Amino acid sequence: MKGRISKIGSYAISSSIRDNQHQQPCISCTTFNILAPIYKRLSQKDQSLRESDNRAYWLGRNHRILDWLLYERSSIICLQEFWVGNEELVNLYEKRLGDAGYLSYKLGRTNNRGDGLLTAVHKDYFRVVNSRDLLFNDCGDRVAQLLHVELVPPYSQYDAHQQVLIVNTHLLFPHDSTLSIVRLQQVYKILQYVESYQKEVNLSPMPIILCGDWNGSKRGHVYKFLRSQGFVSSYDTAHRYTDSDAHKWVSHRNHRGNICAVDFIWLLNPNRYRKLLKTSWSEAVFGMFRYLLRRASLTAEDAFAFLKTDNDGDHITFMGFCETLRQVYRICNAI
């Protein structure tokens, strides 16, 4: 079966909820990039030949994916590269997940790209309070889903209104370093949207789960940005890994043949201290800029002169900064 999975099972979402044996009631979550048939190549010799051209192939593979998902029976399922453009496949997932007790929500990428997201939650665990779609409207046509859910009995027996926010997304693939800032901005938009939604419906602090294919490793700016906002990787928590253990796990081999670790389930404790979102955003952007300047082998003095561009004063203009950023990206891509 092709695709990739990141799963953390039996993860307690709130230490304040207990059952009769004083144990934490647990939920499980699976995130899975299932590789849309329109992208899956069948031949190295003929790159134009895709799985979507062969119904038996894509139908059989997706039945096997569903067999596995239903065997695992996670409380939350987040899929990426879901082929929303094929009615037969959509009906297949909706029927089999529905028959198994799941409520499912799908969202296609903008500009009719053909694939998108599917998020499903099991009715034995959750009642869906609300669902929202977030369209980034950027160069990658990427999107995100937000589900506002509430635990149902018996999982809610000690807190009748225990609620959770679930986000599913698939960030832009970093074809080159110029797209790093786009991916970072996509995450910023997600956190902004979650923050504004909480204010809009007057929500108290609650657990937040971010799932998906982040197309970036633990060494990247997106990972550091989310950590600065108090999120923890469930995989790291389960295996007692630290931020420096990027080499200890992989999620898949990408289409370029590179081994990657980019699929994450992020958790936020509502009681955890968080920096202001704008503060984390500013630190992340300037951290990325410092990294690019170092990569371009510019000293602090050279960097300031570079940033001034044609400005004769002792200050940097916004237009000059943007132009310099474009130049630094070009230099780094040529290295």
Give tens-digit pLDDT for 15-57. 233 444 445 568 899 999 999 999 999 888 888 899 999 999 9
Determine the pLDDT at residue 10: 35
Mean pLDDT of the region 157-172: 86
Query: Which residues have CB under 8 Å from 212's CB, separation 6+?
Result: 31, 78, 80, 117, 144, 167, 168, 169, 170, 171, 263, 264
Lowest average pLDDT, out of 53-62, 183-192, 233-242, goes to: 233-242
End-to-end, the C-alpha distance of the chain in Å comes to 38
By DSSP bridging, strand 143-151 and strand 126-135 are: antiparallel
CA torsion, points 74, 79, 84, 90, in degrees to nearest 10?
-20
How far apart are the C-alpha atoms of 25 and 152, rounded to whole Å?
Answer: 12
How far apart are the C-alpha atoms of 84 and 287, rounded to whole Å?
Answer: 37
The domain spans of the chain are 4-275, 296-334
Single-letter code of the amino acid located at 308: K
Number of H helices, E strands in the chain: 8, 13
User: What size, in residues, is the chain?
Assistant: 335
Helix 87-99 crosses helix 55-72 at what angle (to 10 degrees)? Answer: 20
For 4-275, give the CATH class. alpha beta
* Two tokens, residue 60: 């059989």
Q: Taking the model in full, what pTM does it have?
A: 0.81
- Nearest one of 96, 112, 107 to 143, comparing CA atoms: 107
Q: What percent of the chain has pLDDT over 70?
A: 69
Q: Are 249 and 235 a contacting pair, CB within 8 Å? A: yes
pLDDT (tens digit, 9 = 90+) per residue, 80-117?
999 999 999 999 999 999 999 999 999 999 999 999 99
